[in-house]
Chain A
Amino acid sequence: MTSSHGRGLLHLAAAVDQRAVHDADSYVELVRLAERGGLDFVTLDDTFARPGPDALAVLSRVAPATSRIGLVPTVTTTHTEPFHVQAAVATLDWVSRGRAGWRIDVSATESEARLFGRRPSRTPDFARAGGSPWPADALWQEAGEVAEVAAKLWDSWEDDAEIRDAATGRFIDRDKLHHVDFTGSAFSVKGPSIVPRPPQGHPVRVVDATEGTARQTAAEYADVVLVRAVSAAHATAVRDQVRESAREFGRDPGDLCVLASLVVDLGDGEHAAEPGHGGGGPRPTAQGPLYRGGPVDLAELIAGWYTDGTVDGFHLTPAEPRRDLERLVNGTVALLQHRGLFRTFYPGSTLREHLGLARPANQYAVAHAVTGGAS
């Protein structure tokens, strides 16, 4: 079942970010559209730094209105409580019946720190220069710790901890609940979680590894790695580095699903890619690598990078949310399906199943087994 890298089916995801939209209906509509295209998951970005609703809340609102597609909100780790973050992500997995992911990100600006007030800048000169109150590598190290403690807390309930044994009057087998006793560089958590282990065991963790500072955390904890790459060579370089690093962490590099992240502007309809796009390839912009052209050429690009093993798939951000997602689903995806590269229905029901990722063993249950399963 676990495919070696690149040789599983193509994976496709889309962002459903919208500017200044706070009502539920338009998000529901976009995610349903993505689900109609059989996409693995949608992402909804989040930051405290600019207007927008809480992304995890929006995708919880969307969950009962959809049935198969994965739901991946950004949840930041710098100013939030790790215990609350893991509980919210686990709960999204419960309300979506195993479709939750978590895009891990940090809050690097001084203005975000001021919204919380409890983390005064420790390097005032750096902050005055408009930089981050803390260096990005320290924030990403903390993000890694949050990912680590989240996995421990998800595992702090074994799957069969609830026993409802009327004879002994016990609702749970407390030997199957575990304190996590985690101490990180800036926080500690006792555990166990208040939420029973989520349906997927661990909701899918997504990290954008384009920046070097995020790469270690991606290599150690991510199930899905995003790379904002302007060329296949660039994507390959980042991918190889993350896979190599994952190997050093003792992971099977094939367990990481690497997706190229592009902004797609399909506004020119069926027209070919603009001159200067290098045969339809993306070009660098302030918003990240941008593909501008028609859905057919985009399908070509996706098929090319996928079949030559550059990436396992794509994460696409529509430049114009509704228009470009429609063209993506009705045009690009339809073509890829026609060529037998992309699913035409969801054979599985969880996001892990869509991605070909196994449900992880419980680290505490494994510990039981290793020590002979005593008690």
Chain B
Amino acid sequence: MTVRRKEIHLAAHFPGVNNTTVWTDPRSKSQIEFSSFEHLARTAERGLFDFFFLAEGLRLREHKGRIHDLDVVGRPESLTVLNALAAVTDRVGLAATVNATFNEPFELARRLATLDHLSGGRAAWNVVTSSDAFTGENFRRGGYLDRADRYTRAAEFVAVARQLWDSWTPDGVPRPFAHRGRHFDIAGEFTLPRSPQGHPVVIQAGDSEEGREFAAATADVIFTRHGTLEAGRAFYADVKKRLEKYGRGPDQLKIMPGVTVVLGDTAAEAQEKAAGIRRQQVSPQNAILTLEQIWGVDLSSYDPDGPLPETDPVPDSSLTQGRTRHGDNVAIAEKWRALSKEKGLSIRQTVIEASARQSFVGTPEAVAIELETFVRRDAADGFILVPHLTPGGLDEFVDRVVPLLQERGAFRTEYEGTTLRSHLGLSGPEGKQ
């Protein structure tokens, strides 16, 4: 008896508001025109991807009290674009990142159910909880939730949304709902019958302890950070193990790291292209900015081609706003200075050397094998591909890697179902179908 091969799931991330997205390349097109979104979504569908993914940011990033101007900035509102994309695609899933802090369950559940109806069952919601007073300044509720509250609010939010999605009878009669909890106290009637998926797919992004637990309890997909095969295996085992206590099977939560891919006809050519892209991503101005984000002080007098500052970072600086922080800045500064000294690197070279390399670099064959290895060895269930170019950044992957994955029996050769749940191999919401 042959064991069915574990299939890879793929998603396409529209190039976002950060310096992964290269805008100086002549092939880089509009970040706002609908045609760019249409191109990438159609490319994803041509490649039989599970879903197309949009990120969100609710306040433009600021640096030194001014709007950050070096990276791509500005984007359309996700759900509105996805509804339009539903008109120009037939099968690919449509995932929107929407903040659970700066929205209300009734309205958002309704918008997500509407997308699911209008797309014939292709809607997904990436629940994010990031909330800070800086972003709150754009919203009625303003303010700030501490980390624990963010997740309890998000968990209650998702539970309420599902209650609303379930509120009509199977034969289309509205039933009143009522919910009283710590964060929400609402009652009434939902405005939509059950949508084709029952519940739109729920995605959770983030690797923190709270994030993992939240995902295990609630999510259908976890959008995680990519690392080594071993780190991926450890994360995968940890998260899948948590499912049991919520009465869920290991197949009910798909683990999909965000990855970047660089292809070349030879390994050397791919490496050369990858290095070139990193140089584009880290412009001289961006190198200084990256340093300022770590040092927390103005470094505009430093030469990007010169040595790193000798001074130590200022802790808890508010120089940069609206950006997620990672780790201890003093330790990072020390590490970077050591790196610079050891290899004789300038500021810009150090930033390029120290910042993340592309996840998969090589010939289409090598990349296909590596992707399959990650999935077969349980470091992932699939990947969310983050191209560096808008909108053609996945053309080559779809043309050259997808057919190889198909030849290897690791990826679908046609969509079997019509809904995103069916692409992801997720069962419908229990007891409701």
- Residues of chain B in range 168-216 having any CB-CB distance to chain A below 8 Å: 174, 184-189, 191-193
Q: How far is the CA of A187 from the CA of B136 in the complex (A)?
A: 11
Contact with B along A50-66 (1 / 0, CB 8 A): 11111011101111110
Contact A51 B283 (CB under 8 A): no
- Shortest distance in angstroms between A308's beta carbon and chain B's nearest beta carbon? 40
Query: Which residues of chain A are within 8 angstroms of B110 by Cβ–Cβ distance?
Result: 48, 53-54
- Among B77, B103, B137, B142, the most chain A Cβ lie within 10 Å of the Cβ of B77
Task: Give Cα A82 to B186, complex, Å.
Answer: 21
A157 to B142, CA, bound (A): 22
Interface residues of A in 38-81 (CB under 8 A from B): 48, 50-54, 56-58, 60-65, 79-81
B61-92 contact mask (Cβ, 8 Å, vs A): 1 or 0? 00000111111111111011101101110000
Restricting to B375-406, which residues have a CB under 8 Å from any CB of A?
none
Do A170 and B69 touch across chains, with their CB atoms under 8 A apart?
yes
In the complex with contacts A58-B114, A60-B84, A157-B74 CB distance below 8 A: yes
Distance, CA A116 to CA B285, complexed state (A): 45
Write out, one digit per residue, whether chain A residues 227-262 have a CB within 8 A of any chain B CB (1) or not (0): 000000000000000000000000000000000000
- Docked-complex contact B86 and A61, CB < 8 angstroms: yes
Shortest CB-to-CB span from A366 to chain B, Å, is: 20
Alpha-carbon distance between A32 and B178 when the two chains are bound, in angstroms:
40
Query: Are A94 and B193 neighbours in the complex by a CB distance under 8 Å?
Result: no
B154 interface residue (CB < 8 Å to A): no
Interface residues of A in 257-286 (CB under 8 A from B): none
Contact B87 A91 (CB under 8 A): no
User: Is the Cβ of A79 less than 8 Å from the Cβ of B80?
Assistant: no
Q: Mark A92-104, 1 if CB is under 8 A from B, else 0.
A: 1011010000000
Cross-chain contact B66 with A94 (CB below 8 angstroms): no
CA distance A94 to B36 in the complex (A): 11
Contacts of B114 in A (CB 8 A): 22, 53-54, 57-58
Binds B, one of A123-131, A160-168, A288-296, A321-329: A160-168
Contact of A95 with B34 in the complex, beta carbons under 8 Å: yes
Interface residues on A, range: 35 or more
Residues of B within 8 A of A23 (CB): 117-118, 120
A98 to nearest B CB, angstroms? 11
**B285 contacts A63, C-beta separation under 8 Å:** no
Question: Please, which residues of chain A bring their CB within 8 A of the CB of B142?
Answer: 188
Contact A171 B73 (CB under 8 A): yes
With contacts A50-B191, A97-B34 taken as known, whether A24 is within 8 angstroms of B86 at the C-beta atoms is yes
Q: Are A60 and B71 neighbours in the complex by a CB distance under 8 Å?
A: no
The reply on A192 being an interface residue by CB < 8 A is yes
What's the Cα separation between A115 and B138 when bound, in Å?
22
Q: Which of chain B's residues have a CB closer than 8 A to the CB of A7?
A: none
Give, as a whole number of angstroms, the nearest-CB distance from B27 to chain A: 13
CB-CB contacts below 8 Å: B271-296 with A: 283-286
When the two chains form the complex, which single residue of B24, B88, B192 contacts A53, counting CB atoms closer than 8 Å?
Answer: B192
Chain B neighbourhood of A370, CB < 8 A: none
Q: Which residues of B contact A51 (CB under 8 A)?
A: 174, 189, 191-193
- Using known A-B contacts A56-B80, A164-B23, determine if residue A80 contacts B69 with beta carbons closer than 8 Å: no
User: CB of B58 within 8 A of chain A?
Assistant: yes
A169 touches B111 (CB 8 A): no
Interface string of B117-150 (1 = CB under 8 A from A): 1111000000000000000011111100000000
Known: A61-B83, A90-B77, A94-B34. A191 touches B188 (CB 8 A): no
CB–CB A116/B106 < 8 A: yes
B187:A57 contact, CB within 8 angstroms: no
Nearest CB of B to A167, in Å: 10
Note all chain B residues with C-beta closer than 8 A to A194.
57-60, 74-75, 77
Contacts of A213 in B (CB 8 A): none
Bound-complex Cα distance A57 to B110 (A): 10
> Is B33 among interface residues, defined by CB-CB distance under 8 A?
yes
Kindly identify which residue among B69, B75, B80, B140 contacts A57, using a CB–CB cutoff of 8 Å: B80
Q: Across the interface, which residues of B come within 8 angstroms of A24, CB to CB?
A: 86-87, 117-119
Segment at the B interface, from A10-18, A172-180, A298-306, A338-346: A172-180
Q: Indicate if B104 sits at the interface (CB-CB under 8 A).
A: yes
Are the C-beta atoms of A48 and B70 separated by less than 8 Å?
A: no
Interface membership of A225, Cβ < 8 A: no
Q: Are B69 and A87 in contact (CB under 8 A)?
A: no
Flag whether B107 is at the interface (Cβ < 8 A): yes
Q: Is the CB of A64 within 8 A of B88?
A: yes
A19 CB-CB contact with B under 8 Å: no
B84/A64 in contact, CB under 8 A: yes
Asked if B140 and A91 make an inter-chain contact with CB atoms under 8 angstroms apart, the answer reads no
Residues on B with beta carbons closer than 8 Å to the beta carbon of A188: 137, 142
B115: Cβ under 8 A from any A Cβ: yes
- The reply on A84 being an interface residue by CB < 8 A is yes
Q: Which residues of A contact B70 (CB under 8 A)?
A: 169-171
Tell me the complex Cα distance, A84–B139, Å. 9
- A186 CB contacts on chain B under 8 angstroms: 140
- B415 interfacial contact with A, CB 8 Å: no
Q: Give min CB distance, B71 to chain A, whole Å.
A: 6
Q: Given the complex of chains A and B, what is the CA–CA distance between A347 and B66 in angstroms?
A: 42
Q: Verify if B32 is at the interface (C-beta below 8 Å from A).
A: yes
Interface presence of A337 (CB below 8 A) = no
A-B contact pairs, 15 of them (CB 8 A): A22-B118, A24-B86, A54-B111, A54-B114, A57-B83, A61-B86, A64-B87, A64-B88, A84-B102, A115-B188, A186-B140, A188-B137, A188-B142, A189-B139, A194-B60
Residues of A within 8 A of B (CB): 22-24, 28, 48, 50-54, 56-58, 60-65, 79-84, 87-88, 90-92, 94-95, 97, 111-112, 114-118, 157, 162, 164, 166, 168-174, 177, 186-192, 194-196
18 additional contacts (CB under 8 A) given A187-B140, A192-B60: A22-B114, A23-B120, A48-B110, A52-B192, A53-B117, A53-B191, A54-B111, A58-B118, A63-B84, A84-B103, A88-B79, A88-B80, A94-B33, A95-B76, A114-B187, A116-B106, A177-B60, A192-B67
A-B pairs, top 10 by smallest CB distance, nearest first, are A169-B285, A190-B137, A60-B83, A95-B84, A91-B80, A117-B186, A64-B87, A91-B76, A54-B114, A91-B77
